[in-house]
Chains A and B, each alone.
Chain A
Amino acid sequence: MSKSIDQIFISAKQWLLSWLTGAPDWVIQVASSLINIFTLLAVFLTLFALMSVLERKILGRIQNRYGPNRVGPFGLLQPVADGIKMLIKEDIVPARADKIVHFLAPILIAAAAVLALGVIPYGRNMTPFTIDGGILFFFAVGSTTELAVFMAGWGSNNKFSMLGAMRAIAQMISYELPLIITVLPVVMVVGSLNPDAIVAAQNGYALGLVPRWFVFTPWGATAFILFFVSGLVESNRTPFDVPEGESEIVAGHMTEYSGFKYATFFMAEYIGMFAITGLAATLFLGGWHSPMRALEFLPSYVWFFAKLSALLFVYIWLRGTLPRTRVDQIMNFAWKFMLPMAFTCVIAAAVWHYAGRGLRGWLWSLVVIAIVYTALSILLDARRKFAPRTYRFAE
């Protein structure tokens, strides 16, 4: 019974494809791909709508407010109202803009974000497009976002757009490095770039209790946090939202966009967020595996989306907590802290592997990470450089 519920979407797809029996192979393949694409878009656009209203509600609660609660029950129809508002707004293209680039940027950024979703395993046998170099594909497509952001900034022919785009490029390229290097230990340990193989490698339970997710190893936990923070920067979320800091440069590269094009940028940002959290869950949180043997009766996709939601909640939580960082702070953090820690993760994973992947390896890799972390904490402690602040008149 639970087996059939677990595979219900696969069975549904098989049933749909059974209408095509007898058709040539390529027709079936194209139909299968189209089904995957439509399912992906339907699921994630719904999630985007839900996320946009839940984010506002959670942020409201963090600030002791109610959040949107007027449109529909509990304000859940708010995204419909927002969508209608966006659709009927005038689409303004600046007279001196580079029309083609200005038009292509939102399309490209949305396409890149959606493409990245295609290689993530959402459940048992539920990877939309199985690619052997799936992780590589994810990052290759993900870096296209930077091009699109710069196209938007350049094509708008606006100083704020340009500044925002340059800030975005600077921080995205800086954080692309730790983002990819933190994936390295996982790829090293599993020995494959295939997301399905990475999920399969996290199957089972150590000591019959703790799941063998990579996040429960010292190098995995560190890499997960680094990956998470880099993902935060890649999706331009608070506290790393300098590219679109409202108080400084209006809306960054989106300044000259209005109406549906602006909505597309917004959507691409959220879809990119889903992709990066989905990959974090796949790489470090065991993908669609359940955390306890007793809970394995729940379908695999439920576990995947539970992990995705938990990570997205932390994204919103961070947004409600932290103020915007300065550009130099972001850069210093990337090059002085994130990058050395990312390399340490690679070394710690190697130590873990060669010390026998057991308790001994666990402790040794913890030692490696603790040494580097403490050293970096001491070296980068800015507080020591200043004398205590004294006030002459105010007390």
Chain B
Amino acid sequence: MIGIGILKGMAVTARNFVGSYFEKERLITVQYPEERNPLPENYRNFPFLPYDGDDPHAGLRCVACKICEKECPPQCIYIVKSEDKKPDYMGKPQFYPAVFDIDISVCMSCQICVEVCPFEAIKMDKDFELSRRERFDALLLRKSDLAKSNEYYQRICPTDAAEVDAKLAAAAEAAAKKKAVSAAAATAATSPAR
């Protein structure tokens, strides 16, 4: 009979219409600014520079080696190496970036900078609420905007951060041991001469 299919379809939509008022699980909409879904752990958008301890300058892991700047496909990273040196987490004197800028209007979130960094000094952030009223300076993140504490990194990516922390601790320990050994060797080497 003509019209039976239409009636069946209308029954389906009527069930949706009435049901959406009584069954909350039917509504999949998240009312965004008030409520939000947790981000997946592997979510990433733009890079940031984690620092150890409390001081963004002293704790910054970056040694201004410029590998990320060279590898960055859209070339959105700009680094100027410092004149002087500061001790890194192992106590070794290292250069540090006097200027570290990332233009996030150019960045394509490819994570290559993170993968090439030998110092675990650049990681991907999850802050996506970046709308600005101006599209040049406001979207050019300076070193002060990019430096974020290691606690922040541990909070946004717990698994990766734990791995990185373990690796850095092991490296520091190895370095300390080596230092102790070489110091002992140095004393051993120098003592006969004395």
A contacts, CB < 8 Å to B? 58, 61-66, 317-318, 320-322, 337, 373-374, 376-377, 380
Contacts and interface: CB of A to CB of B under 8 A. Distances in A.
A64 B26 contact: yes
A321 B2 CA distance: 17
Contacts of A63: 16
Interface stretch (B5-13, B106-114, B135-143): B5-13
Contact of B6 (A65, A320, A322): A322
A321 B10 contact: yes
Contact of B16 (A61, A337, A374, A380): A61
A62 B13 contact: yes
Interface string B20-39: 11000011110100000000
Contacts, number: 43
Contact of A317 (B2, B13, B21, B26): B13
Interface of B: 1-2, 6, 9-10, 12-14, 16-17, 19-21, 26-29, 31
Contacts of B2: 337, 373, 376-377, 380
A61 B21 contact: yes
Given A64-B27, A322-B6, 11 more contacts: A61-B21, A62-B16, A64-B19, A66-B29, A66-B31, A317-B10, A317-B13, A317-B14, A321-B12, A321-B13, A374-B1
B147 to A, nearest CB: 36
Given A318-B10, A322-B9, A64 B16 contact: yes
30 contacts: A58-B17, A61-B17, A61-B20, A62-B13, A64-B16, A64-B19, A64-B26, A64-B27, A64-B28, A65-B20, A65-B27, A65-B29, A66-B31, A317-B14, A317-B17, A318-B10, A320-B13, A320-B17, A321-B6, A321-B9, A321-B10, A321-B12, A321-B13, A337-B2, A373-B1, A373-B2, A374-B1, A376-B2, A377-B2, A380-B2
A314 B10 CA distance: 10
A67 to B, nearest CB: 9
Contact of A64 (B6, B9, B20, B31): B20
Nearest to B6: A322
A387 to B, nearest CB: 20
A247 to B, nearest CB: 20
A61 B28 CA distance: 11
Contacts of A321: 6, 9-10, 12-13
A380 B14 CA distance: 28
Contacts of B26: 64
A132 to B, nearest CB: 36
A263 B20 CA distance: 31
A237 B172 CA distance: 72
A89 B11 CA distance: 40
Contacts of A66: 27, 29, 31
A66 B24 CA distance: 11
A380 B3 CA distance: 12
A317 B26 CA distance: 18
Contacts of A374: 1
A62 B17 contact: yes
A321 B28 CA distance: 19
Which 5 pairs between the two chains have the least Cβ-Cβ distance? A321-B13, A61-B20, A62-B13, A64-B26, A321-B9
